[in-house]
Every structure is written in C-alpha cells, then in structure tokens.
Amino acid sequence: MDLEALNSIVREFSGESHGSSNYDEDQFFVRGEAVNNFAPFSYIKKKLVPPATPLEDYRDLLAHGMVVVSYDFIEDNHFRDWYEKQFGKKLTPKAARKILLIYKPNQKSIFASLEAVNRSFEVLRAEKILINTKNLATQLGEWYCKCVFGLSQIKSTSQRGFDFELNSKRIEVKTYWGDKSSPKGVKLRKSLVELSDNCILIYLTNNFMIREICFLDSDFILRKFSEKGHTIFLKDSDLSAYFFSRSSKQFEKVVNKNALMAFASPALAIKLEGRL
C-alpha cells in the first residue's frame, strides 16, 4: 500500500469541514503524518484508486505497520479537537466509546527512546533504586520515602518482597503516579494497612517528581475510611487536610529536608518553602 497516497487523502479530508456529512458516525479513523490530521476509514476506502492498493478492511492497514487503539482508552486531545472542528459538534462520551484510531508509530523515535530508557534503568539499578520487579514509579516512590523519612527496608515475613520500618514500626508505602488522582481514590489493601503502624502515600507527577505526600496512622485509616471488600479507597477530597502541602503535622518525621525539596515538584516545593 502507498502510505503517501493514504497520507495525502488524510490531509485532503482534514483540509475542509464535513459538518453536513455522516462521517462523524464512523468507528475507525486513520491518523496521517500530522498528529492533528485524521480521516474516516470509509472515506479512505472510497478515495484510494489504482495504482494504490485497495482496502477491504481496517486490518489491511495493520500489515503495513499501523496499529489500532481505542480513543476512549487514550483520550487523544488532538483527535477530539479535530473531530469537533471537522463536524461542528461535540464528541460525546457515547460516541467516543466506539471510536478506534489507526496510526503508524514512529519506530525510529521509539527505538531511540527505548535505548535511552535502558541507559536510565542501568543508572537506577546501579544506584539501588530499582531492586526488584516492581514498576519504576512504585520503586521510585519507595526510594523517595527511604530518603525523606529514613525508612529501613527489610525482608518481609508476611509477604513476598520487602517491608519498611521506621523506629521499629511497620510502614506501608503506597505510590500513586499521575498528575491527577483517580476520582475513586488511591487503593490500599486492607490486610496491609492492618499489618502496618503507619501508611505513607506518595504521589508522583507524570515526570516522576513528588507532587504530594501524606503520612497517616493505620488505625486512623481503618476507622475513618470506607472499604470495599479487601480494598480501602482514599480520595483526595478526604485526605487534602493531611497533605504535606497543607499540613505541617508530620513534618517531624522528615529526616532529610533537602531530599524532599530536591525531588519535589515546583508546585509542592513552593508550598513547602519556609515551612519545613
């Protein structure tokens, strides 16, 4: 298949509005070279003419290095803006749930990024930040807590892996990675809260800086927060008064203020400045 012919069709479609058409009802949309250029698969099928290879099914594109993802899963803002501009209507949640996006990944950039990630992981392993098979965000959050609070890490007697201790007290560390928390809250296993004396919630931004910390008594969590089965959900709205950005109550637990300020996001660092 001639990918340039396909990209040309995508550019052509994106070059004008289509509010009077029913292309907004398509399920499959193909992205061109530009991240904000798309075209319905049905339109591309119709426009591809010899010598271009005809398309019968969207899967024909996958054999040429393209991939398909659910818009509802990735929530591509470029597509949403393009859709609303092209069709003069809002992309409703109902419409979004059925849409699949087809695009060709930039393999050269991906391989370059993987090489950089591998080099970075070698450094993190050498510095003993990555020590097991947990994901990077989880282990980085745990390492931040070891630096900031002086936690010791010992082989667990109750579960596979390691436990954290502080002054002979068992500490449960929970890392949440993302610029915004889930509306459902941070999930904690009730059994782990029951086995611990304190729980530290550490929230990381998308670029792995500390955006918030919460140091809580485990008994307090069990009394105050509702549970669903074996899981306790801690919502930001219920925890905000205990966040380090707002409360100084647990500042005495911090043994390395420089580490906290060094790894804090700019927004958190500004709120902590002069208070620690």
User: For position 102, what pLDDT does the model report?
Assistant: 93
Residues 54-63 have a mean pLDDT of 83
Q: What is the pLDDT of residues 210-222, one digit of tens each?
A: 999 999 999 999 9
What would the two tokens of residue 108 be? 């050269």
Of 226 and 115, the one with more pLDDT: 115
For the chain, which domains are there? 3-105 (no CATH), 128-272 (3.40.1350)
User: For position 57, what pLDDT does the model report?
Assistant: 86
Residues 146-167 have a mean pLDDT of 76
14 and 41 in contact (C-beta within 8 Å)?
Answer: no
Q: What is the pLDDT of residues 119-155, one digit of tens each?
A: 999 999 999 998 877 889 999 999 999 999 989 877 6
3-state secondary structure of 261: helix
Give the contacts of 135 (CB within 8 A, at least 6 positions apart). none
Could you give the dihedral angle defined by the CA atoms of residues 36, 42, 43 and 44, in that order, rounded to the nearest 10 degrees?
80
